[in-house]
Structure 1
Amino acid sequence: MRLHVGCAMWTLKAWQGRILPHPLPTNERLRHYAGWCDAVEGNTTFYATPTRETVATWADQTGPGFRFVLKLPRTVTHDHRLTDADEPLRAFLHAIEPLGPRAHALWIQLPGSFAPADVPTLARFLRRLPTTHRYAVEVRHPAFFDDPRAVRLLEGVLTDADAEWIPFDTTAFFRSPPTSDAERNAWTKKPRMPLRTHALTERPIVRYLGRDDTVRTVEGWQHWIDVVAGWLREGRSPTVFVHTPDNADAPVLARRFHDEVRARVPGLAPLPEPIPVEPSPVEPSPVEPLTLF
């Protein structure tokens, strides 16, 4: 019985010297992040497919139980809309091979214009994917949340492919107006997604967006504590990603989420202990030269 938790990235300037040591070589940052969380969203793969050598360093820095949820390239999902995209998809699958089982799921994030009428395209795409990976789909068209027929249609296609539906819960974020620059920026960019808590597979994946105020973030995830605890009791193995607009405390919040679920499910395995962060050395103040008058 495992609950994996993580963030949208494994390094952030706001974490330096507090959550991650500073300075820290690029090829050590993921290793230190993996002491805090045991999963991470692979958002960067949406914009560019990494080299196979780069991916091999990711594997070297993480244990076999670490989970990557890697986003398919936008050339596949947005530019080609899941058709005639064999070459970029093949290159992506080749590049991520060094991760082995760490590649927990390949994340198919579809644009808001991808509507119920496009579901047959998704079905064909899923049927052609190699069975060596698990797949998870995130949709943003309102009909998939408002129209029961569209919900049934998508759930049927995903169930046939043993693929998960990833909810992006932004309800807590949009509950009240923004109060910081980061929140105001996110207010114009994040989708207003309805709440969905139904899992289709044994390995559900949740993306949760809170606020920069920790109290409001924790208040907003309480229903997920209940849902995730229930999934664990059913024998499922969920992964939850905690976001905030500035993400400054995201690893700490992810661990807190895990702790709150573990209080409900005592048999849940604990997270690893973070690698201690040594205080940054203090530079000595320069000595002013003595001036004689």
Structure 2
Amino acid sequence: MRLHVGCAMWTHTPWQGRFLPHPLPPRERLRAYATWCNAVEGNTTFYATPARSAVESWARQTSPDFRFVVKLPRPITHERRLSGADDELRSFLAAMEPLGPRAHTLWIQLPGSFGPADLGSLAAFLRRLPATHLYAVEVRHRAFFEDPRSEGLLERVLDGAGAEWIPFDTTTLFQSPPTSDAERDAWTKKPRVPRRSRALTGRPVVRYLGRDDTGRTVEGWRHWVGTVAGWLREGRSPTVFVHTPDNAEAPALARRFHDEVRARVPELEPLPEPLPAEPPTLF
């Protein structure tokens, strides 16, 4: 029984010297991060398909049970809106091949304008995808959260393809006005949709966004601690990504989330001890 937890990236300036050794060559940072967390969001692939050599480096730095949840590139999801992007899709899938089992889920994040009327395009796209991967879809159109008929139609499309629905839970962020520059920036950019916590498959993926205040982040994830513990007891294998607006404490928070779930499910395998950020001293 394993719970995978991670962050939105594997390197971040505030982590250097605290969570990750510093200085550290770029091609070693993922290896160090992987001692803290056993999963990571692949957000950079949204902006450009990486070179195969870069993906080979990611594979070398992680064990086969490490999980990447990699986002399909913007031309496929946002510019072409899932239609007529076969060449881009083939290039992306070829680039991801070196990850092997580490490419746990391919993440199809759709724009807020992609609504119920577009479900035919999503269904057709999912049917064309190779069965060699797991797929998960993140939607942001409010109809999917507020209109039961639209929600049911989307679930039917996903069920037909064995795909998961990724919730991006921003409810904690929007509970009260922002108190930092990072929170104010997040208020202008992050989707404001109701929380959804029903898994469709045996491998649910959750994205949780808290606050820059650790206490408020922890209080806001109580719902997810119980939900994830329940999924584990059901035999599911979840992956949870912990975000905050500044992400300064994200690796430690991800591990804390894992610890809180393990307190409810003692048979859950613990995370390994992380690599020290600084070398040991003699005194």
TM-score above 0.5, yes or no: yes
The structural deviation recorded for 1:280 is: 11
CA distance, structure 1, for counterparts of residue 188 and residue 85 of structure 2: 31
Residue 207 of structure 2 aligns to a residue whose secondary structure is strand
1:248: which partner in 2? Answer: 248
CA distance, structure 2, for counterparts of residue 191 and residue 148 of structure 1: 19
**Deviations 1:223-243 (CA, angstroms, capped at 9, x unpaired):** 000100000000000000000
Residue 241 of structure 2 aligns to a residue whose secondary structure is strand
1:278: which partner in 2? Answer: 278
CA distance, structure 1, for counterparts of residue 20 and residue 63 of structure 2: 18
Contact in 2 for aligned 1:110/1:138 (Cα 8 Å)? yes
Residue 253 of structure 1 aligns to a residue whose secondary structure is helix
Residue 192 of structure 1 pairs with residue 192 of structure 2: yes
Residue 197 of structure 2 aligns to a residue whose secondary structure is coil
Matches within 5 A, 1:109-148: 109-148=109-148
CA distance, structure 1, for counterparts of residue 80 and residue 196 of structure 2: 27
Compared CA separation, residues 119 and 98, structure 1 to 2 (3 A): same
Compared CA separation, residues 185 and 279, structure 1 to 2 (3 A): farther
The structural deviation recorded for 1:279 is: 5.7
Amino acid at match of 2:73: P
2:232: which partner in 1? Answer: 232
1:258: which partner in 2? Answer: 258
2:40: which partner in 1? Answer: 40
Aligned residues: 281
Residue 104 of structure 1 aligns to a residue whose secondary structure is strand
**Deviations 1:62-112 (CA, angstroms, capped at 9, x unpaired):** 001000000000000000000000011100000010000000000000000
Residue 93 of structure 2 aligns to a residue whose secondary structure is helix
The structural deviation recorded for 1:273 is: 1.2
Contact in 2 for aligned 1:46/1:74 (Cα 8 Å)? yes
Where structure 1 has 5 or more consecutive residues not aligned to the other structure, the ranges are 282-293
Matches within 5 A, 1:1-293: 1-278=1-278
CA distance, structure 2, for counterparts of residue 280 and residue 97 of structure 1: 38
CA distance, structure 2, for counterparts of residue 276 and residue 81 of structure 1: 44
Residue 240 of structure 1 aligns to a residue whose secondary structure is strand
Contact in 2 for aligned 1:17/1:279 (Cα 8 Å)? no
TM-score, normalising length: structure 2: 0.98
Amino acid at match of 2:98: P
Residue 160 of structure 1 aligns to a residue whose secondary structure is helix
The structural deviation recorded for 1:56 is: 0.2
Compared CA separation, residues 112 and 265, structure 1 to 2 (3 A): same
The structural deviation recorded for 1:248 is: 0.3
**Deviations 1:178-213 (CA, angstroms, capped at 9, x unpaired):** 111111111111111210000000000000000000
Residue 70 of structure 2 aligns to a residue whose secondary structure is strand
Contact in 2 for aligned 1:169/1:209 (Cα 8 Å)? yes
1:290: which partner in 2? Answer: none
**Deviations 1:117-163 (CA, angstroms, capped at 9, x unpaired):** 10011000000000000000000000000110101100001011000
CA distance, structure 1, for counterparts of residue 242 and residue 55 of structure 2: 23
CA distance, structure 2, for counterparts of residue 112 and residue 277 of structure 1: 39
The structural deviation recorded for 1:28 is: 0.3
Contact in 2 for aligned 1:17/1:280 (Cα 8 Å)? no
Residue 187 of structure 2 aligns to a residue whose secondary structure is helix
Determine what percentage of the aligned residue pairs are the same residue: 75
Amino acid at match of 1:192: R
Residue 106 of structure 1 aligns to a residue whose secondary structure is strand
Residue 253 of structure 2 aligns to a residue whose secondary structure is helix
Contact in 2 for aligned 1:31/1:61 (Cα 8 Å)? yes
1:285: which partner in 2? Answer: none
Amino acid at match of 1:241: F
CA distance, structure 1, for counterparts of residue 166 and residue 35 of structure 2: 25
Where structure 2 has 5 or more consecutive residues not aligned to the other structure, the ranges are none
Structure 1 outlier segments of 4+, above 2 Å? none
CA distance, structure 1, for counterparts of residue 152 and residue 277 of structure 2: 49
What's the RMSD between the two structures over aligned residues?
A: 1.0
CA distance, structure 2, for counterparts of residue 280 and residue 8 of structure 1: 29
